[in-house]
Amino acid sequence: MDSENIRSIKELPPEENMQPGTAACAGCGGLLTLRYCLKALGENIVIVNAAGCFTLLTIYPFSPFRNSWLYTAMACAPAGAQGVRDALDILIKKGKLDPEENLKVVVLAGDGSAYDMALSSTSGAIYRNLDFYYICYDNEAYGNTGFQHSGASPFGSRTGTTPPGEKVPVGSQLQKKNLFDIWNSHKPPYLATVSPAYPVDLMNKFKKAEQFKGPKLFISHIPCPPGWGFDPSQSVKLAKLSVETGLWPLKESIHGEVEHTFVPKKFKPVEEYLQAQERFSHLFKPERQEDALKSIQEMVDEYWRKNTLLP
């Protein structure tokens, strides 16, 4: 991959490093993100896959990947990556692996793992400056076990364990964790948010990350048709709306210094994003929950004001 930035979707690499025909849900935004990530990373990688939706991609004897794949429990994928990295380094040191064949180590994890169960394991890996890539596909719940609430579930959303009712009509009362800031406090060499609706931005972030040795971390906001409640054909539209409304800022951090890579010229109202999903329908019917809707919009506005990108 050359060092020049990709300028349009026509310049994306034509090579596909993931085979079609997986067991993922129709319209899975995470699968589209993964396809772009593997285009950027190439075949010479070892994937360490934490338990989650993407565990379903590789079911013996079938696999969509062209590379090695290792399955771990939700809490320990970064520890597994440490073991793989150590083994590769020992083989190179003993002359049993050509340094030219050195493989990239890639952790693949959902938000349940990244935001909750494996947070301490990831913190340790960043602290040790482990040379690896970490990709979190964030669908804002435990997607493959009933869409239960996770640390990534947003305020006001309906999940399997936060159903709106008479006593709590708003659904989830908790705010989504800020994983970007948590990771960024470790000052890793490279950290970014990405979206399947912005593949050029995604690819260029991977190209930039290549120059750094150490943790290279990516969080992708991904629409989940069965969990969020929308037609699978609308996945990219939803992913784009989350960026256009300001809910999912596209940004990167190099050694702790944050810059936004895309700022909408005019922010769309958050309601446009919320109304397109069944998981937020209780905020609009049978009665509009004005306080909750106002709170969500104010939360987004406050973020952009704080970053001096909104008047």
pLDDT at 189: 98
Residues sharing a CB contact under 8 Å with residue 47, sequence separation 6 or more, in sequence order:
65, 67, 68, 69, 70, 106, 107, 108
Predicted model pTM: 0.96
Look-up: residue for tokens 């939803």? 238
pLDDT band at 276 (very low <50, low <70, confident <90, very high): very high
For 222-268, what is each residue's pLDDT tens digit?
Answer: 999 999 999 999 999 999 999 999 999 999 999 999 999 999 999 99
Q: DSSP secondary structure string, 45-91?
A: EEEEEESSGGGGG-BTTB-SBSSEEEEE-TT-HHHHHHHHHHHHHHH
Helix (H) / strand (E) element for 294: namely helix 290-306
pLDDT at 88: 96
For 44-80, what is each residue's pLDDT tens digit?
Answer: 999 999 999 999 999 888 999 999 999 999 999 999 9
Q: How far from 93 is each of 45, 90, 99, 131, 206, CA to CA, in Å?
A: 19, 5, 9, 16, 27
pLDDT at 99: 87
For 124-134, what is each residue's pLDDT tens digit?
Answer: 999 999 999 99
Give the DSSP letter of residue 289. Answer: -
Give alpha helix (H) positions in 119-231.
Answer: 119-127, 179-184, 199-209
Roughly how many angstroms between the first and final C-alpha of the chain, as a whole number?
39
Residues sharing a CB contact under 8 Å with residue 11, sequence separation 6 or more, in sequence order:
200
For 174-221, what is each residue's pLDDT tens digit?
Answer: 999 999 999 999 999 999 999 999 999 999 999 999 999 999 999 999
pLDDT at 3: 59
Q: What is the mean pLDDT of the chain?
A: 95
Packing angle between helix 29-41 and helix 199-209, nearest 10 degrees? 40
Return the percentage of the chain with pLDDT > 70, whole number: 98
The whole-number average pLDDT for the span 267-285 is: 98
pLDDT band at 1 (very low <50, low <70, confident <90, very high): very low
